[in-house]
């Protein structure tokens, strides 16, 4: 088998709490290996550390790795700044996308594409790619003139994250509850597009609470997180069991946080 795209061994982290001015332990030994060509789904009760894991991997400044190993393309991510990780092919579609008043979506996307490629992209070239992505995702051009996420509906924010993914073409796309806020038709369309994006040269890490998402993306691996660790891994059948029986029954422990 080819070398892993992402390899986590005993990864521990803390988050800085601005309320208490303290570092709070969150990840408590995450082991996870992702190869290209794979689609991983991460499930788990609220507060188990799923979003934190994604933030740690992207290099969010409030999250610190305290122990363990995290390698992307074989390189320790601790040695890489956030923007370097993005340039190397990591992408996170946020659970709660940020709003930036006064920054038009089109301007933001062009800057993001140029940052990812470390070069200026002529407007003509960018426009061609953008038009193709808008067409594919069924997003109106009017969207581009609006301030980033300002006044966007929940579903529009999520679709904007997926538009970014299509333009940035990451090798590891992490989607944090992209399904939440989407109506049933949008869910089907967005995850059909996500599935089409996946190929032998990239990998997905999809965080979700809902088994129905798995019907669209057909994952190769499903993991369950609890209290800062991945405590169970399997195939799509694992999410069916969670959906039918709940975390408590499947994990054999109390699932409440
Ligand atoms: N900035 C912060 N300050 C304090 N606690 C934090 C901070 N960020 C995360 N946490 C805590 O870390 C734990 C894990 O949170 P995280 O958002 O990773 O959970 P999650 O698995 O994504 O949950 P959900 O399914 O609800 O999205 C929670 O107990 C949360 O309150
Ligand atoms: Mg979360």
The upper half-sphere exposure of residue 236, i.e. CA atoms within 13 Å in the direction of its Cβ, equals 12
Query: Given this model, what pLDDT does residue 88 score?
Result: 96
Residue 183's domain comprises: 6-95+171-251
142 within domain boundaries: no
DSSP string across 48-105: SSHHHHHHHHHT-TTEEEEEEEEEETTEEGGGS-HHHHHHTTEEEE-SSPPPEEEEEH
Q: What's the maximum distance between 2 C-alpha atoms anywhere in the chain?
A: 57
79 within domain boundaries: yes
Query: Given this model, what pLDDT does residue 74 score?
Result: 95
**Number of folded domains that form the chain:** 1
Query: Given this model, what pLDDT does residue 257 score?
Result: 46
84 within domain boundaries: yes
Q: By C-alpha distance, which of 68, 43, 112 is closest to 251?
A: 43
CA of 93 to the centre of ligand 1 (A): 16
Q: What is the pTM of this model?
A: 0.95
| Residues whose beta carbon lies within 6 Å of some atom of ligand 1 | 15, 17, 24, 26, 44, 46-52, 62, 95
The CATH number of the domain holding residue 215 is 3.40.50.300
Residue with tokens 């990451």: 170
Sites in the chain below the pLDDT cut of 50: 255-257
């Amino acid at each position: 088998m080819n070398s892993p795209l992402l390899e986590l061994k005993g990864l521990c982290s803390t988050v800085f709490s601005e309320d208490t001015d303290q570092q709070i332990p969150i990840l408590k030994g995450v082991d996870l290996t992702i190869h290209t060509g794979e689609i991983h789904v991460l499930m788990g009760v609220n507060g188990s550390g799923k979003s934190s894991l994604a933030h740690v991997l992207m290099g969010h400044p409030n999250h610190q790795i305290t122990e363990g190993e995290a390698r992307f393309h074989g390189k320790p991510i601790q040695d890489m700044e956030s923007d370097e990780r993005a340039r190397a092919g990591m992408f996170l579609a946020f659970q709660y996308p940020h709003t930036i008043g006064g920054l038009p979506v089109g301007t933001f996307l062009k800057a993001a594409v140029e940052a990812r490629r470390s070069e200026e992209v002529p407007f003509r070239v960018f426009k061609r790619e953008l038009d193709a992505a808008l067409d594919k995702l069924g997003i109106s051009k009017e969207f581009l003139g609006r301030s980033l996420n300002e006044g966007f509906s929940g579903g529009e924010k999520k679709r904007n994250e997926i538009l970014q993914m299509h333009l940035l073409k990451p090798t590891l796309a992490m989607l944090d509850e992209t399904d939440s806020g989407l109506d049933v038709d949008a869910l089907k369309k967005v995850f059909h597009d996500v599935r089409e994006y996946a190929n032998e040269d990239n990998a997905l890490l999809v965080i979700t609470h809902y088994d129905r998402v798995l019907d669209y993306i057909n994952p190769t691996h499903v993991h369950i997180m609890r209290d800062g660790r991945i405590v169970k891994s399997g195939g799509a059948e694992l999410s069916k069991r969670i959906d039918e029986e709940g975390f408590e029954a499947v994990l054999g422990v109390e699932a409440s946080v």
